[in-house]
Amino acid sequence: MRLYTARLSAGLVTVCLCTPVEAQQAPPQLSRQQRETLLALVTAVDGAAQQPTSEGSQWQTHLMRASDGSHYVAFTIAPDASRPLPSGAALLYVRLATSNPQAAQKLAERSAIREWLAGSRIDPRLLPRRAIAIGDMPAFGAGGIAVRGSTPSTGSNDLKLMAMERERAKKEQEERDKQRRAELEGKAHVSRDVYPFEDFDLASQSVRDDGTRIVARAFTAGPGEYDLFVAWADPSSPKPLSTVRVLRQSLHLPPAIAMGLTTGSIILADKVSVRAAPYPPTEQAAHPYSIGLMEIAPARDAVYTREEALAVAFQIINAQPSDTGMPDVAVGFRVVRVAGDRETPIASLNPQYYNNTTLPPEFDLRRGHPIFAAVSAPLATLRRGEYRLKIAINDRVGGTGTTADADFRIVGTPTSLLAEAPPLGRPFSRERALEPAAVASLVQALTPAAPSPQLSRALETARAGKLIDLLVEEPVPPSEAGIRTVLTGLALLSVGDQSAAVQFQRALQQNAPAAAVQYLIGAARALQSRDADAIAAWQAALATGQAPAMTRHLLVESYLRRGEVPRAAGVITEAGPMPSSSDWTRLTAATHIAAGKTADAIALLDTHLAANAQDTDAQWLRLHALYTDVVRGTNRERFMAEANRYLDAKGPNSDLVAEWVRVTQ
């Protein structure tokens, strides 16, 4: 089996994961109602901090690495029915609060947004304080010399002061960077007087591709134990405050791994696509899984059908740059089937490479450009079951490697589960072709008017079912040589020796009875999986008018195996009324099902099972026909009743029937 991958352009990784550029935006302007509603959300979250974690709603959280080394946390929420999102835009409030504090070091965290709403802060955002960095010009520096007409000595002093200020700023920045690394690696405790993250959106409208309303946001934070709160209200409601809803989720962010190749969260996606242009900063917060030009639509779960494609995206972290800043990373993908602790290799996907031949010229790991890998593969060739995508990453510059994996499950749809039913054209069975009634018919056709004693003994051996004993040959008269050759071939066929076909062809040349020989040639060719040749031989046998009754059974089955349903139906029609036979009844019903005539099949099987209630093969065919109707949208109640009886009796195909019942409910 081969899985074909759809790879996204490497050019879409040349973007840093950063917080929105808020410093370029003016503080938001709120109406009175918006202020009141937002304050109500902040207050509701204060109260929810004392409540347990929200249950029922579906949370998904994925970790990536931001350009400053902190965690970039993207999340989605599909609220449950008890806390529905508005049908239109929602006023949204998000808060990240430190939990499990070290009591002696913990400061009471405050809401910057509450303070802004109360008028004690001019901007709700926590903008970074800028220290003077190399290249900045202080107000008293060289730029002021010409204005003030100072003497060169004064200018020299100003330049010295500027140099000292720069050096001090450099040391302060180095100290801050050192402290920041310690915090990100969990080596230093962080005490805050405000919440690590707060945000609000006056008109949140996140939706999935299927139209499901969700909350989708992102934030950056260092390692620690947190409580993530999401609250919303319907601003279009006559009483917005009555629509306030709050969700809470505990969140653990591990220390950042500063050294060594690793990955961010492996994101299973409904699809990974490329946008024509990135979202503008004002819209980015509502699209946390849009990384530059790459847009990831996270799957709501790890369950797929065979009609879908598996899409995966993830960030490769801590790859080492070359002297030009380029990485040289190879990523391999394997799919394995999982059964307990056992993994069975299924397929390998095309490897991906991230280097100077695949990345844009401006890509530079030293500037914080992240590597994102994305791969997609169809699942049509995989059976239902548990699977694992195994990822192997090799950093050729750093000389290191790492692995990751993602588990997923493939389930059936009503249509795909119908296709899993055992074939209506049963595999050829040598034993059925040589059942006693068929052998007796062959012996009768082969017996001449006055057989020699040697041939009589051989024919009697065949009639008694001792076919292997026919390999011990007694010389027979030349006129009986063809018949004796048939019996030798019959012995070989009985043990599955495919050279039996040679014997039967030789017997034809020796003028052996055509009906018996053509029947056996058909059986020998079917044993070789040459159904077309088998069909030709059985048709020739029927043309003699002396073919064994089993010939039509085998011919119909071979047509069904080849998907030639009209020809199978033609054989049944030409046969006309036949003596009652369970095998022929089942074969006729199978042909009706294959032809889409489920009502005819069900009626025939109902009559048969009324007199043969224990015929499990007929029970299965009726269930097959009923489920075919269910897929078409009818007969559900009858199917469920028969399926439950079949399951109670532990029928041979109970596992599949249980799946049929699951998708039918």
Domain with residue 587: its CATH number is 1.25.40
Is the domain of 649 the same as that of 583? yes
Asked if residue 72 is part of any domain, the answer here is: no
CA distance 407 to 402: 17
If asked whether residues 522 and 391 sit together in one domain, one would say no
Whether residue 419 lies inside any domain: the answer is no
pLDDT at 626 over 70: yes
3 vs 115: which has the higher pLDDT: 115
Q: What is the DSSP letter of 231?
A: E
pLDDT tens column, 246-294? 999 999 998 877 788 999 999 999 888 888 888 887 787 788 998 888 8
State the pLDDT confidence band at 495, using cuts at 50, 70 and 90.
very high
Task: Answer yes or no: is pLDDT of 183 > 80.
Answer: no
* Rg (alpha carbons) of the chain, rounded to whole number: 39
Strands 329-339 and 294-298: unpaired
Looking at the fold, whether 37 and 26 belong to one and the same domain comes out as: no
Q: Is residue 380 part of a domain?
A: yes
Residue 81, burial from CB neighbour count under 10 angstroms (0-12, 13-18, 19+): exposed
Q: Are residues 14 and 100 in the same domain?
A: no
25/40 same-domain check: no
Q: Are residues 651 and 545 in the same domain?
A: no
The encoded tokens of residue 20 equal: 């929105």
Indicate whether 434 belongs to any domain: yes
Residue 98 lies in a domain: yes
DSSP structure string for 20-84: --GGGSPPP---HHHHHHHHHHHHHHHHHTTSPPP-SSEEEEEEEE-TTSSEEEEEEEE--TTSP
Q: Would the CA dihedral through 464, 465, 468, 473 be positive or negative?
A: positive
Domain count for the chain, please give it: 5
Whether the Cβ atoms of residue 542 and residue 516 lie closer than 8 Å to each other: no
- Which of 337, 333, 269, 263 has the alpha carbon at shortest distance from 301? 269
Encoded tokens for 129? 């304080």
Percent of the chain residues past pLDDT 70, beyond the cut: 84
| Residue ranges in 333-382 assigned as alpha helix (H) | none
150 or 413: whose pLDDT is higher?
413
Please indicate, yes or no, if residue 252 is contained in any of the structural domains. yes
246 and 267 co-located in one domain: no
Domain membership of residue 71 (yes or no) is no
Specify the 3-state DSSP secondary structure of 648.
helix
Nearest 5°: phi and psi at 343? -120, 125
0.75 surpassed by pTM: no
Per-residue pLDDT, averaged over 387-409, amounts to 96
What does the pLDDT read at residue 504? 96
Cβ(539)–Cβ(555) under 8 Å?
yes
Question: Do residues 451 and 497 both lie within one domain?
Answer: yes
Q: How confident is the model at residue 157 (pLDDT cuts 50, 70, 90)?
A: very low
Distance from C-alpha of 655 to C-alpha of 421, rounded to nearest angstrom? 11
Q: Does 324 lie in the same domain as 292?
A: yes
Quote the percentage of the chain above a pLDDT of 90: 64
Q: Is residue 243 part of a domain?
A: yes
Q: CB under 8 Å to 305, separation ≥6 — which residues?
A: 379, 410, 411, 412, 413, 416
Give which of 94, 307, 60, 304 is closest to 219, Cα–Cα.
94
Q: 24 and 41 share a domain?
A: no
> Which residue is associated with the tokens 């029915």?
81
Which pLDDT belongs to residue 19? Answer: 46
Q: Find the domain containing 12 and state its range.
A: 1-30+258-411
Final residue before a domain boundary, out of 411, 444, 463: 411
Mean pLDDT over all residues of the chain? 85
pLDDT confidence band for 569 (50 / 70 / 90):
very high
Same domain (yes/no): 122, 147? no
Q: Report how far residue 93's alpha carbon sits from residue 218's, in angstroms, rounded to the nearest whole number.
A: 12
Backbone angles phi, psi at 557, to 5 degrees: -60, -40
Q: Give residue 106's pLDDT.
A: 54
- The answer to whether 310 and 268 are in contact (CB under 8 A) is yes
pLDDT band at 467 (very low <50, low <70, confident <90, very high): very high
Mark which of 256, 286, 308 sits at the end of a domain: 256
- Residue 105 shares a structural domain with residue 173: no
What whole-number distance in Å separates Cα of residue 185 and Cα of residue 657?
52
Q: Which residue, of 234, 256, 278, is where some domain finishes?
A: 256
One-letter amino acid at 527 equals L
Query: What pLDDT does residue 99 have?
Result: 85
